[in-house]
Copies of this chain bind each other. A is one copy, B any other.
Amino acid sequence: MSLTPSSAITEILAVGRRLDARGLAPATTGNYSVRLNDGCIAVTVSGRHKGRLDQDDVTQIDLDGRALHAKPPSAEAVLHACVYRLYARVQAVLHVHSMPSITLTRVLPRGSDVVLEGYETLKILPGVTTHDTRVVIPVFENSQDMPALARVVEDRLVTLQPAPSALLLRGHGLYAWGATVEEAEHVVEALELMMSCELETLRVGRT
């Protein structure tokens, strides 16, 4: 899609309102970004409610995650930049905090990834054409040293084939991406549904 700054802002504000309406933007959690047609990245600033963003709440970074404007981006913008560097097809990255993504990564043994298997909804993920498969969503330990975390993430993502559409930070939340804002949003919604099914299965399945 590759957008102008003003259309990127319009898309980011709209997706914030939609994610908030689905309960995926409590307090000031989350951050969202879009790749611009000049190769830079529009990304939300820190500390704002994502369901009530205005156009001043979006700033710009370059592909190395460096701030291009006076308004500083979220510290997590370096993770967004990392995803754009790795995957040329990705034009949008969405990060949300949600009960399923936080809890599932906390109750799984440390070091485990989230493995989704046999769900028809897996076909929402780009490149997945059958439910009869096994999709791994890599889980990383959370960190406050975002540049260091971005290196860890990049080192692992490059080894994964096929390229994932999402990652999880333990006790923190979900990053999802796609070729458009809409595709990234669909990945978020599909994974939230499947992660809630995984938690429900853990609760119920211990019969």
Which A residues form the contact surface with B (CB < 8 A)? 22-23, 26-29, 49, 97-99, 102-103, 106-107, 118-121, 124, 129-132, 142, 144, 169, 171-173, 182, 185-187, 189-190, 192-194, 196-197, 199-207
With both beta carbons as reference points, the residue of chain B lying nearest to A170 in the complex is identified as B118
Given A27-B186, A130-B144, A173-B120: A203 and B201 within 8 A (CB)?
no
Q: What are the residues of chain B within 8 A of A22 when measuring CB–CB?
A: 23
Contact of A204 among B142, B144, B185, B199 (CB under 8 A): B199
Q: What are the residues of chain B within 8 A of A197 when measuring CB–CB?
A: 99, 102-103, 106
Pairwise interchain contact B124-A28, C-beta atoms closer than 8 A: yes
Interface pairs A-B: 3 shortest CB-CB: A120-B172, A27-B186, A26-B189
Pairwise interchain contact A186-B49, C-beta atoms closer than 8 A: yes
Contact of A186 among B28, B124, B190, B193 (CB under 8 A): B28
Given A97-B120, A182-B49: A199 and B202 within 8 A (CB)?
no
Give 22 pairs: A residue, B residue, CB < 8 Å, sorted on A: A26-B121, A26-B192, A26-B193, A27-B121, A27-B185, A27-B187, A27-B189, A27-B190, A27-B193, A29-B124, A29-B190, A49-B182, A49-B186, A98-B193, A118-B171, A119-B171, A129-B144, A131-B142, A131-B172, A132-B144, A199-B204, A202-B207
Q: What are the residues of chain B within 8 A of A203 when measuring CB–CB?
A: 203-204
Q: How far is the CB of A25 from chain B (nearest CB, A)?
A: 9
Inter-chain CA distance A199–B26, complex, in Å, is 18
Q: What are the residues of chain B within 8 A of A190 when measuring CB–CB?
A: 26-27, 29
With both beta carbons as reference points, the residue of chain B lying nearest to A22 in the complex is identified as B23
Inter-chain CA distance A187–B204, complex, in Å, is 25
